[in-house]
């Protein structure tokens, strides 16, 4: 051994080679992973306009928005009262009824249970509506009230309120 090998130089070369290799591999994998995310046309699914003039008080309709069911319900006086009576602080996902509606007779919800994604029952007159007279998810027994808030069962959150605007008194634009 005439000369001690230059370890610093060797370490630098090894480290930079491994780093470059790792970055290169990650850069190569990224497009493959990203290709599994929703495609552009899926993202552009956009908005839906709904005519609500034919909905009677107490009636609820289901429309499809971005592949999901959306509930549009014209609530009765009693239902509005029941929803307002609740102290938000007592709820699992505290929210006042006023924060969940734009006009208090119209309740707009994404009809997807926040537990594991089933569609809750309660849209038809004959459906089970659960203990709080709103919606009831048959999959794992979550009960929602007349504001679509979780009251009992395994679901962690209230039914989502989608973004929507009243274009006029008889038309809602969802999305």
Partner 1 sequence: MDQNRKVHQFKNPVLNWIEFRLPIISYFKKEYGDYPMPKNCNYFWSFGALATITLVTMIVSGIFLAMNYTPHTDMAFDSVERIMRDVNYGWLMRYIHSNGAAFFFIIVYIHIVRAMYFGSYKYPRELNWILGVFIFLLMMATSFLGYTLPWGQMSYWGATVITNLFSAIPIIGEGLKTWLLGDYNVGNATLNRFFALHYVLPFVIFGVVGLHVAAVHVHGSNNPDGIDIKSKNDSVNFFPYMLIKDTIAMCAFGVAISAVIFFGPNLMAEVDNYIPADPLVTPAHIVPNWYLAPFYAILRAVPDKLGGVLLMFGAIVILFVLPWLDRSKVRSCNYRPIYKWFMMGFFVNFFVLGYVGMLPAEGLYLLIARVGLLYYFGFFFIITPFVGWIEKPNKLPLSISDVYAKNIASNIGGGEKGMPSPAMQKDTNL
Catalytic residue annotation: 140
C-beta of 131: minimal distance to partner 1 in Å? 13
Which region among 3-11, 76-84, 94-102, 113-121 touches partner 1 (by CB under 8 A)? Answer: 113-121
**Choice from 117, 131, 166, 167 touching partner 1 (CB under 8 A):** 117
Which is closer to partner 1, CB of 5 or CB of 31?
Answer: 31
Which is closer to partner 1, CB of 82 or CB of 108?
Answer: 108
**Choice from 59, 74, 96, 138 touching partner 1 (CB under 8 A):** 138
**Choice from 7, 37, 53, 126 touching partner 1 (CB under 8 A):** 37
Per CB under 8 A, does 19 bind partner 1? Answer: no
What are the CA-CA distances from residue 107 to residues 21, 59, 159, 164 (Å)? 55, 11, 11, 11
- For 113, counting Cβ atoms within 10 Å of its Cβ (0-12 exposed, 13-18 middle, 19+ buried), the class is buried
C-beta of 16: minimal distance to partner 1 in Å? 31
Which region among 24-32, 59-67, 74-82, 160-168 touches partner 1 (by CB under 8 A)? Answer: 59-67
C-beta of 1: minimal distance to partner 1 in Å? 31
Residues 168, 161: contact at Cβ < 8 Å? no
Q: Report the DSSP beta bridge partners of residue 48.
A: 174
Tokens standing for residue 65 = 């928005």
- Main-chain phi, psi angles of 86, to 5 degrees: -70, 135
Closest CA to 47 of 66, 60, 61, 63: 66
Could you tell me which residues come within 8 angstroms of residue 139 by beta carbon, excluding any fewer than 6 positions away?
113, 115, 116, 118
Per CB under 8 A, does 156 bind partner 1? Answer: yes
Which region among 14-22, 58-66, 83-91, 93-101 touches partner 1 (by CB under 8 A)? Answer: 58-66
């Amino acid at each position: 051994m005439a000369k001690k090998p230059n370890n610093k130089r060797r370490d630098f070369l090894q480290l930079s080679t491994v780093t470059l290799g790792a970055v290169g591999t990650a850069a190569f994998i990224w497009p493959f992973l990203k290709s599994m995310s929703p495609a552009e046309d899926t993202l552009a699914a956009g908005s839906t306009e709904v005519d609500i003039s034919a909905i009677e008080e107490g009636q609820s309709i289901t429309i499809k928005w971005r592949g999901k069911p959306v509930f549009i319900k014209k609530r009765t006086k009693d239902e509005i009262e029941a929803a307002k009576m609740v102290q938000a602080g007592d709820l699992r996902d505290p929210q006042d009824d006023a924060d969940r509606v734009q006009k208090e007779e119209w309740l707009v919800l994404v009809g997807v249970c926040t537990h594991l994604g089933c569609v809750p029952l309660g849209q038809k007159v004959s459906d089970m509506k659960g203990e709080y007279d709103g919606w009831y998810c048959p999959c794992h027994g979550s009960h929602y009230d007349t504001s679509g808030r979780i009251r009992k069962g395994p679901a962690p959150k209230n039914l989502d309120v989608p973004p929507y605007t009243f274009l006029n008194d008889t038309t809602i634009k969802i999305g």
